[in-house]
């Protein structure tokens, strides 16, 4: 029997998600569920990711084998980048 977990502690979550297989399965479920929403956030919800957020999201999709969505996440994000942002030139030179 384990001792009670204090409120706000991550101990219970750490114990529940112990294997890499669990984490990979959760990442696959997340990316399948969020693939369409990731592409529509900027236009439908006026929700724009920072360059770092877009790269992190693309990395997750790429890690589960969805390269097409990873590229699209960056492209959709880059359309809203300003000249001083990381992806501004990337999108304009790729078309
Ligand atoms: Zn960017």
55 Cα to the center of ligand 1, angstroms: 8
As a whole number, mean pLDDT of residues 10-20 equals: 68
3 state DSSP class of 64: coil
pLDDT given at position 18:
80
27's CB contacts (< 8 A; 6+ apart) are: 60, 63, 64
CA of 89 to the centre of ligand 1 (A): 9
3-state secondary structure of 31: helix
Dihedral angle at the C-alpha atoms of 91, 62, 66, 46, nearest 10 degrees? -50
Question: Which pLDDT tens digit goes with each residue over 33-72?
Answer: 999 999 998 888 888 899 999 999 999 999 999 999 999 9
* Residue 95 CB coordination number (10 Å): 5
Return d(Cα 92, Cα 95) in angstroms, integer: 6
CA of 82 to the centre of ligand 1 (A): 8
Domain boundaries, the chain: 34-94
For ligand 1, an ion, list residues with CB under 5 A: 51, 81, 85-87
* Entry field: residues in the chain: 95
Residue 1's pLDDT is what?
44
């Amino acid at each position: 029997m384990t001792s009670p977990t204090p409120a706000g502690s991550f101990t219970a979550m750490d114990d529940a998600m112990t294997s890499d297989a669990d984490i990979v399965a959760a990442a696959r479920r997340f990316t399948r569920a969020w693939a369409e929403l990731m592409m529509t956030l900027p236009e439908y919800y006026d929700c724009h990711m920072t360059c770092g957020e877009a790269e992190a999201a693309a990395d997750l999709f790429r890690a589960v084998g969805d390269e097409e969505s990873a590229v699209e996440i960056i492209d959709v994000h880059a359309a809203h980048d300003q000249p001083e942002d990381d992806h501004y030139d990337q999108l304009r030179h790729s078309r």
